Structure 1
Amino acid sequence: MQASTVPPRRMVVGVSGASGVVYGVRLLQLLRQLEIETHLVMSRSAQVTLAHESDYNVADVRAMASVAYTNADIGAAISSGSFPVMGMIVAPCSIKTLSEIATGITSALLPRAADVMLKERRRLVLMVRETPLHLGHIRSMGAVTEAGAIVYPPVPAFYANPESIEDMVDHTLGRVLDLFGIDTGTVRRWGV
């Protein structure tokens, strides 16, 4: 019997400590609506940011995922290339996490799972949240891009005439999921 070469509808979601935790939370909600299995890993800093930026607690966010891991669980399924997934989105992605991925430092699960995406040539999208940028940040972005990742800062598209922050978040995440061939129905297409 030959194994299927089509990856299951399964996505790894990383949430790091950058501002913008709403992107990770809403991403989990959208993927659940689309019946895509999610595997979540949050950094310790993400948990702190969550407390500052939202009314959710860590248990609430973990419950939104199909499977949730601690960042210390480097033996988790998502740490292995033999575990088939569509790819990984880090939403938001801190400069610390970006730099770990860029240099191959995999002492925690979140950067390890991202490293697996790169080595297996799977799609990795990093929603980098930092501004302004210095040369070290830009070099790290260049390094992950050269390794195969997509750096996708969550920059709102105003041509969509958003009426709320939720509209901007949904449009941005819709465009991120477009990179995986997933249509959320939340993107107002240019010229359509």
Structure 2
Amino acid sequence: MSTRRIAVGISGASGFTYGVRLLELLRELDIETHVTISRSALLTMQQETEHKLADVNPLASFTYRCDDMAAAISSGSFSTLGMIVAPCSMKTLAEIAGGLSSSLISRAADVTLKERRPLVLLARETPYTLAHLRNMIAVTEMGGIVAPPVPAFYARPASLDEMIDHTLGRVLDLFGLDCNVVRRWKEHKAD
């Protein structure tokens, strides 16, 4: 694959900012992004942020409607480095765990798993029910990675932005991508 590309899903869990910042970081790394945003995510965007879809869409290389089952990322023949769902709602997690393809996000995730590419889900909910945990186990057994956005206080974040960057930097580490925003454990930076 000559073009480095990642599929990105933004679902309706709290944390729309994770998806936006992920797109910014991937753009800085010159990674082509193929993005779909769920209807619930658009509601979350309105409730949690000052973002407008007209401002978010230009951050992506390509955008698709959540019901566009003919989108490039719905096929395994469309090569990607993998997929990140940031944030990942429990509904989306359940669809992925059950192998359902009722939206483009769950279809693209299913394709990512069947092609044995990395799938990372920033599962956003607390506390978890037994159903949530079982779905996380199912996705993990299929080869996906469940990475709840939990702050790393050893990095001594000074702001919410630093917490978000650290989480997303660690997610991008899973793809071998270093966006230079992670304060790593016991790593000393020269002054």
User: Shorter-chain TM-score: what band?
Assistant: over 0.9
Q: Distance in 2 between matches of 1:162 and 1:109?
A: 34
TM-aligned CA distance change 1:7 to 1:134, over 3 Å? farther
What do the CA deviations read for 1:129-171 (whole angstroms, capped 9, x no partner)? 0000111110000000001100000000000010000000001
Q: Any gaps of 5 or more consecutive residues in structure 1?
A: 1-5
Indicate which of 124, 130, 144 corresponds to 1:149.
Answer: 144
Residue equivalent to 2:60: 65
Q: How does 1:1-192 map to 2 (within 5 A)?
A: 6=1, 8-192=3-187
Change (3 A) 1:7 1:91: farther
TM-score normalised by structure 1 residue count: 0.96
What is the Cα deviation at residue 79 of structure 1? Answer: 0.1
The whole-number CA distance in structure 2 between the counterparts of 1:64 and 1:13 is 12
Question: Does the aligned pair in 2 maintain the 1:7–1:86 contact within 8 Å?
Answer: no
Structure 1 position 7, deviation (Å): 6.1
Q: TM-score, structure 2 length as denominator?
A: 0.96
Task: For structure 2, list consecutive stretches of 5 or more residues without a partner in the other structure.
Answer: none
- Counting matched residue pairs gives 187
Q: Distance in 2 between matches of 1:139 and 1:78?
A: 26
CA distance in 2, matches of 1:120, 1:106: 15
**Post-superposition offset of 1:8:** 2.9
Task: State the distance in 1 between where 2:41 and 2:56 align.
Answer: 11
CA distance in 2, matches of 1:190, 1:56: 33
C-alpha displacement at 1:58, in angstroms?
Answer: 1.4
The alignment yields a C-alpha RMSD, in angstroms, of: 0.8
Moved segments of 4+, more than 6 Å = none
Identity of paired residues, percent? Answer: 63
CA contact (8 A) 1:118 1:148 kept: yes
C-alpha deviation, 1:63, in angstroms:
1.2
Distance in structure 1 (CA, Å) of the matches to 2:150 and 2:101: 28
